[in-house]
Amino acid sequence: MDSYKCAKVVEILTSMIVFPNAKINIGLNIVKRRYDGYHNLETVFYPIKINDALEVVVSDKLRFTSSGNSIPGNPADNLCLKAYHLIKKDFDLPPVNIHLHKNIPIGAGLGGGSADAGFFIKALNEVCQLGLSVETMQNYARQLGADCAFFIDNKPVFAFEKGDQFEPIELNLDAYHIILVMPPIHVSTTEAYSGVHPKPITHDLKITLKLPAEQWKGLVKNDFENSVFQHHPQILSVKEALYKAGAIYASMSGSGASVFGIFSKKLDLQELETENQVFYDV
């Protein structure tokens, strides 16, 4: 791409605050292991209302700071910084000050880090007036992680291959109430994948999700659950508690550890409250 100077637009727009949201996986089928070490899968990404806050400010030096939930690892490896350096290969970007207030639980299967990266790309596009199309931003995001590209358009999609290829899907759960429970457990992606065994799909997820949510139980499955539940029975207990409280469908999201329940009516969270678990009405 041609280089792009941001100097002329700094006077117009020097900062932006965005609110990256989480996602849940509705159904997750591990189809086969790929030659590159990844797995082909099929799932539906559905955005939910648990948000981080991300500020991008044109500055004299590239900086990354964070607050809120503690983010493990080296801050220099944060996906927002990686996104900046990736785009800077093609555009003459100014330094920016990035501040992330982390609220989305980490190690939860909610895509929080991917959301931050996707929303950062969109914010940088606006701040520097890069004129990137949705497709171009998605292509940048795909280089950062399998589900990062989802957060560019941020609408329900059927995801396949590594989880980075999408088809639109008509799915609206606004008539229901979604409760998400985060137990005090961190499930690493490596741990989750170590226990799964790819297998042929028995139910077409796109067709099954056309059924009312009341009919999903037993048909819409997450292939990570069997192995994760064996190592972390507390997560299974959360799923069982959601069904006991009246959920019409409940599932672990992604590789865990969060579990969500879909209810036909609003739930009194006191029915589920136990020590150390965090609840979200999304």
Here the CATH number for the domain that contains residue 46 is: 3.30.230.10
**3 state SS of 181:** strand
In a domain, 2, yes or no: no
Distance CA 53, CA 55 (A): 7
Same domain, 72 and 122: yes
3-state helix, strand, coil in the chain (%, to 5): 30, 25, 45
As a whole number of Å, the CA-based R_g of the chain is 19
Which residue range(s) make up the domain with 248? Answer: 177-281
Q: Do 187 and 255 form a contact (C-beta atoms < 8 A)?
A: yes
Please tell me the pTM assigned to this model.
0.90
- Of 139, 168, 197, which marks where a domain is finished? 168
Average pLDDT rounded to a whole number, residues 76-81: 95
How high is the pLDDT of residue 67?
96
- Of 111, 134, 168, which marks where a domain is finished? 168
How high is the pLDDT of residue 274?
66
- Number of structural domains found in the chain: 2
Distance CA 276, CA 268 (A): 18
Given 52, 116, 147, 164, the catalytic residue: 147
Pairing of strands 157-160, 53-58: unpaired
| Catalytic annotation present for 223 | no
Distance CA 68, CA 102 (A): 5
Q: Do 21 and 49 form a contact (C-beta atoms < 8 A)?
A: yes
Given 23, 102, 221, 239, the catalytic residue: 23
- Of 123, 148, 168, which marks where a domain is finished? 168
Please give the residue that has the higher pLDDT: either 74 or 116.
Answer: 116
pLDDT band with cut points at 50, 70 and 90 for residue 271: low
| Catalytic annotation present for 23 | yes
Q: Do 45 and 25 form a contact (C-beta atoms < 8 A)?
A: yes
Please give the residue that has the higher pLDDT: either 199 or 57.
Answer: 57
Q: Do 112 and 72 form a contact (C-beta atoms < 8 A)?
A: no
Share of the chain above pLDDT 70, in %: 91
pLDDT band with cut points at 50, 70 and 90 for residue 64: very high
